[in-house]
Structure 1
Amino acid sequence: DDTVRIIFAHSEDDPNDENDLRWHGTEGRGVKFMYLLNAVTKPDLSGNIITRDMIQTNYHVPPQVTTYRCKAFTLSNLGKKHHMIKFESHIQRGMEPYVHHILVYKCPPLSKEWINKDYFCYLNGREVAPCGSVFFGWEYGGQDFYFPDNVGMPIGEPEDDATYIMEVHYNNPELRSDLVDSSGMRITFTPDLRKYDAGLLTTGVQIGPTHMIPPHETDFVNTGFCQAECLEQGLKDMPGQQVKVFAAWQHSHLLAYAMTTKHLRNGKEIEPFADDQAYDFNYQQIRLLRKEVPLKMGDSLITQCTYDSTSRTNLTLGGEATTDEMCISFIFYYPRMPLDGCLADPIFDTIPEIKDMKPPEQVKFLQGYNWKDRHARLLFRNNMEKTKYRSSCYARNPSFLNFKTVDRLRPTEIYHPPQRDCQKDNGQV
């Protein structure tokens, strides 16, 4: 199930035999990322379908490394409830290296003056900044996503006055001043409602400076989690007190080389929703599960990321820039429950010098560590193992946000995958 990098070469001329293999030339070669065991079958979407684009319009990207540009849209003019059944990116040709991700958030209504207006996402006040409720999106290397034929993401509901805020992250390390972009997303939807409403749950490590990766490490692990207590807020009123998970979308940045979204039932780890021990930033595709998996009362989630920071000389922090880090999983499921996300981040109460400091002060202190010293890095690892975490549990409708200081979530029993069915004979599989 890991990300596989396929290296290919081909020639326009067929060989006459095995001794007549010809050079493919400079154009007949390449690299393709894929999940070999997670093939996507494109369904027939003919019939009563509608498409709508959410696009930036000739946006002049500033000559700075990281830019977050937003644009607000409304779907209230649909007149009645529809189901979104597909979403896809629309990346302007030539902008592929510079568009890092596009996320669309479903947020409280904004005043009309903001609709169809683009602006800097985080420089115009909290009211118009993206909220925490990710609705859909695209990450670098991602492909079109089709919902299962019995599920659709609800839009245009009569009581729904939401504003959809599209956030485009531009990564411009060359500081180019000649980039003009019209990228965005296209959604496909239908008034012919499917059986179930889909939902999206965000879990993992809270994005921010308390997400720290020391330099000079080959296998540093960070974890975020979603406690059973939080999941119960959404599951308690669902039919059978459960939902069914059908896809998972894992996201980290340049230092991560492994990601796992673990699934715990009554504290015991069972088969993970996603496990990629060859995670690659260049291929961030949503994984459809081979079979739907129930998420039940008493279940909990752990998102684990493993980083190689040997290329860095100081702390790498969690943040929005590509050179910062993240560790987030988006869980697609049905039927929709009143819960949007649950995240966690360490508070460093095991380091006496910084336990009472605010995060910026903690960062400043730890940046003064001699990170070349292996013993200093080992001590930091040990403190991370023992620190408490701040967990957050939130939803947009009905609105609630709960914070709680908790111990790090650990499984009472580790999951071991079953032995593969491959039969070995004389060293060959």
Structure 2
Amino acid sequence: MINLNHCLLLLALILSNSLAHAVTLQTYTPVSERLPIDLASYTSGNANFMHDLYRLFWKLNLDAEVPSIDIALDVKTGGCEAKSTKEERIFDYEYANTPTPILARETVYMCTGFEFNPPHPTNASLLATGHIVEIRPMIDPATMPYVHHYIVGACKGNTEKYRSMVGKPTECMTNGFDVMDVCPIMVYGWAVGSGPLVFPPVAGLPFGDPSDPFDTRHLLLQVHYDNQMPERTPAGLHDTSGLVIRYTFDKRQHDTALIHLGDGMVMGDPMPFGTEGKRRELEYTCPGECTALWPWDITAFASSLHMHKYGRQMWSSITSLATDPDVVTTTTDLDRTDFYEFEFQHVSHIHKVIKRGDRLNVHCVYDTSQNLFPHMRPNDTKVSFGLASEDEMCIDYIYYYPRFPNQPDNSICGMSLYLPAIP
């Protein structure tokens, strides 16, 4: 058992040694009468310091039988924001969403279109082109408890369906109004606890090319609102969460894109509560036969592991399948979190080469010993996979370059395998 003083000592050691790799620490210790840190000086249970390289999270459990504090330390080094150089100037575009009402319903998805079309730096009559180099979340503090996650999609800007959503919050997904036909490309996702997506110096998201079917001038913000107590919804409450797009007019070497590994279509089979084991593991495989069809090898530069409240552990891996019997088949982690907490999600900045023919696996471990939402779903006997917060997911969002020319056809890869329940 590690006490809070030991945790802070370890934090000091990590800072002093400037580790080059991500480290996550989680401890469980009784709350003392006087904490050696002033929690009141931080906001929303987390603090960023040293240029966002280090993040300290905590969660107070004062209502438990034994009051406790959960602490998570996330150390991220190697650059956490896009840096400008003499050759490349970086600009900021801030988008706050059109005020969107918080409805008195448990689960609502709302979609709003917006244009990212910065003016040309030297000639206003020309269409500006360049690369997006960083995306930072901007969550409305007044509605933060209701914002479960959001995604940003690239859309076909000349369609009537997309134009009808520009500047107009429109319910989608939860009412059968699908937007994937006009906004098929996901370019960024935010979930509770996660931070910015920073692109490597050699790559970015392109904008300003009318001939590019995946151009990012026409965007969609799709927000999942989670209202645990609809009957207590404040009247007139509106959300203006958005994002900051950092961009340059200088074209970088590569265009980037995103692949959904795991259960990208959210079609997993239900998991029963209780009797079959407290923990259940699911494995999804993107087989080498599929990656062998890619036009080229890719470099994964970021990963975001995503489950909901039943999730306890998650990791993804790359297996290089040897065709030569004298060569050993190797498996390495793509991304991993051994202590998954829904409130502590983050974007991992990585550098992993995925070759054609490699097998990609995603593992998700859940604690299904009891119903976590008895007040909302008292009659449930199992956990379903779906869009609601009470449902589950198992997706690893992988950001990569160079982008495939037929990117939508290669944006989802994964087939499921249910492993025996863990007693």
- What's the TM-score, normalizing by structure 2? 0.70
Which residue does the alignment assign to 1:201?
A: 259
In 1, Cα distance between equivalents of 2:24 and 2:223: 25
Which residue does the alignment assign to 1:73?
A: 114
Which residue does the alignment assign to 2:347?
A: 286
Which residue does the alignment assign to 2:51?
A: none
Cα distance change of structure 1 residues 381 and 335 upon mapping to structure 2, 3 Å threshold: closer
SS class of match (1:297)? coil
Please tell me whether the aligned partners of residues 82 and 134 of structure 2 are also in contact (alpha carbons under 8 angstroms). no
In 2, Cα distance between equivalents of 1:133 and 1:172: 27
Offset of 1:91 from its aligned partner? 0.7
SS class of match (2:261)? strand
In 1, Cα distance between equivalents of 2:209 and 2:143: 34
Which residue does the alignment assign to 1:64?
A: 105
Partner deviation per Cα, 1:274-321 (whole Å, 9 max, x = no partner): 1211111112111012xx221111112111100001122611111111
SS class of match (2:98)? coil
Which residue does the alignment assign to 1:353?
A: none
Offset of 1:102 from its aligned partner? 1.3
Matched, 1:83 2:131: yes
In 2, Cα distance between equivalents of 1:323 and 1:280: 15
The one-letter code sitting in structure 2 at the alignment partner of 1:155 is: F
Matched, 1:38 2:71: no
Offset of 1:26 from its aligned partner? 7.1
Offset of 1:88 from its aligned partner? 0.8
Please tell me whether the aligned partners of residues 130 and 165 of structure 1 are also in contact (alpha carbons under 8 angstroms). no
The one-letter code sitting in structure 2 at the alignment partner of 1:190 is: T
The one-letter code sitting in structure 1 at the alignment partner of 2:166 is: I
- Aligned residue among 88, 109, 126 for 2:178: 126
In 2, Cα distance between equivalents of 1:168 and 1:22: 37
The one-letter code sitting in structure 1 at the alignment partner of 2:254 is: Y
The one-letter code sitting in structure 1 at the alignment partner of 2:198 is: Y
Please tell me whether the aligned partners of residues 102 and 184 of structure 1 are also in contact (alpha carbons under 8 angstroms). no
SS class of match (1:167)? strand
Offset of 1:137 from its aligned partner? 2.1
- Aligned residue among 40, 49, 52 for 1:27: 40
- Aligned residue among 134, 156, 162 for 2:208: 156
Which residue does the alignment assign to 1:402?
A: none
* Equivalent runs, 1:11-410 vs 2, <5 Å: 27=40, 32-33=56-57, 36-39=74-77, 41=79, 42-45=81-84, 48-75=89-116, 79-109=127-157, 110-111=159-160, 112-122=163-173, 123=175, 125-126=177-178, 131-160=183-212, 163-175=218-230, 176-178=233-235, 179-216=237-274, 217-233=277-293, 235-236=294-295, 241-266=296-321, 268-289=329-350, 292-312=351-371, 314-338=381-405, 339=407, 340-344=410-414, 346=416
SS class of match (2:260)? strand
In 2, Cα distance between equivalents of 1:22 and 1:138: 32
Please tell me whether the aligned partners of residues 318 and 333 of structure 2 are also in contact (alpha carbons under 8 angstroms). yes
Please tell me whether the aligned partners of residues 81 and 158 of structure 1 are also in contact (alpha carbons under 8 angstroms). no
Equivalent residues, number: 333
Offset of 1:40 from its aligned partner? 5.5
Cα distance change of structure 1 residues 22 and 343 upon mapping to structure 2, 3 Å threshold: closer
Cα distance change of structure 1 residues 26 and 166 upon mapping to structure 2, 3 Å threshold: closer
Larger CA deviation: 203-212 vs 37-46: 37-46
- What's the TM-score, normalizing by structure 1? 0.69
Which residue does the alignment assign to 1:388?
A: none
Larger CA deviation: 189-198 vs 68-77: 68-77
Identity %: 23
Partner deviation per Cα, 1:261-283 (whole Å, 9 max, x = no partner): 11111174521111211111112
Offset of 1:247 from its aligned partner? 1.7
Cα distance change of structure 1 residues 22 and 333 upon mapping to structure 2, 3 Å threshold: closer
The one-letter code sitting in structure 1 at the alignment partner of 2:310 is: L
Please tell me whether the aligned partners of residues 70 and 120 of structure 1 are also in contact (alpha carbons under 8 angstroms). yes
Please tell me whether the aligned partners of residues 314 and 338 of structure 2 are also in contact (alpha carbons under 8 angstroms). yes
Please tell me whether the aligned partners of residues 261 and 329 of structure 1 are also in contact (alpha carbons under 8 angstroms). yes
In 2, Cα distance between equivalents of 1:165 and 1:223: 31
Offset of 1:94 from its aligned partner? 2.5
SS class of match (2:344)? coil
SS class of match (1:114)? coil
SS class of match (1:27)? helix
SS class of match (2:391)? coil
Which residue does the alignment assign to 1:391?
A: none
Offset of 1:220 from its aligned partner? 0.2
In 2, Cα distance between equivalents of 1:5 and 1:212: 29
Partner deviation per Cα, 1:185-237 (whole Å, 9 max, x = no partner): 2211111122222221111114445432221232201122222233233x32x
The one-letter code sitting in structure 1 at the alignment partner of 2:77 is: A
| RMSD (CA atoms) | 3.1
